[in-house]
Amino acid sequence: MSTAYHMERALGQTLAVDAFVYTKKKVCIIYNMSLAEFFQVSQYDKKIRLGCNSDGGYVIAELDGGYDGYISAGVSNEESFTRDFLKKYTDIKKENAHAFDGTIHDYPWSYTSDITFYMKNIGENENNSMTDLAFLIEKYDRLFLKMDIEGGEYPWISTLDETKLKKFKQIVIEFHGVTNNGWGASLGSKRACLELLQKTHYIVHAHGNNHGPVSGNIPDVIELTYVVKDYFLEGPPKNTSPLPTPGLDFPNHCGLPDIPLVGYPFVQ
């Protein structure tokens, strides 16, 4: 066959691939637009940072009334947030402070000794190596939860209902792979988790983890601070302040710039 035929065929294949890639990107953008409603940030001005000024520190809302229990879900070797939290909220003692991580052999006690450690991962079942936290959710009514469990957040949240979620007065959580099917969960299941949380809590702060990419204005890995809706007499206004917040937010990866969260849904 002629050289012209081969050139035409090759061009057609290239255009077909480009069209597929474009279509895939378009679907991703459309999905992220529909996902964005679950990342709307509410205005709340009384916020502080606890923990180190890099990966491991989080921004929380200062709320009246305190907490009756604390959970650190996902420990590894960094617990500066827990250390600072327990120094600030002195009503929380070892008997009502709980840490979970089945990937380490012992807790990094240099941060604090005022906590009970369980060598278990958080998940959808209760057994020798995993817990669904039901025994603590039943016990407490004003829990603070700090969670970074590398995708395990999705199967755990899927075990909850609105009544159980309302037991968590405040949550700081790192969601993984929110723009794709990675981290062991489908996009549909991730959306369902975010939708459930939106029914019971307001997001009062958001920060993108710059270890991951950004897709359609949504960081693939994102840290969110939730406050239970029952805390507010009326719904707070939408956030109008630029994110990240100077003096509160710091890059997770110190060698890379922070991710600007501009426009909807983070700033309105």
Provide the 8-state DSSP code for 260: P
Token reading at 234: 């009326």
Torsions phi, psi of 92, nearest 5?
-85, 115
Contact 165, 197 (CB under 8 A): yes
150-163 confidence digits (pLDDT tens):
999 999 999 999 99
Q: What pLDDT, on a 0 to 100 scale, did the predictor assign at position 32?
A: 59
Nearest to 135 by CA among 153, 155, 148, 116: 116
The model carries a pTM of 0.88
Separation CA 147–CA 101 (nearest Å): 11
CATH of domain 3-231: 3.40.50
Separation CA 116–CA 109 (nearest Å): 11
Separation CA 48–CA 249 (nearest Å): 10
203-233 confidence digits (pLDDT tens):
999 999 999 999 989 999 999 999 999 999 9
> pLDDT > 70: what percent of the chain?
88
3-state helix, strand, coil in the chain (%, to 5): 30, 25, 45
Token reading at 129: 């190596």
Give the residues across from 219 on adjacent strands: 214
> pLDDT > 90: what percent of the chain?
87
Separation CA 182–CA 8 (nearest Å): 37
Q: What pLDDT, on a 0 to 100 scale, did the predictor assign at position 13?
A: 40
Q: What pLDDT, on a 0 to 100 scale, did the predictor assign at position 177?
A: 96
End-to-end CA distance of the chain: 60
**145 residue type, one letter:** L
Nearest to 114 by CA among 84, 142, 141: 84
Nearest to 98 by CA among 150, 149, 143, 48: 143
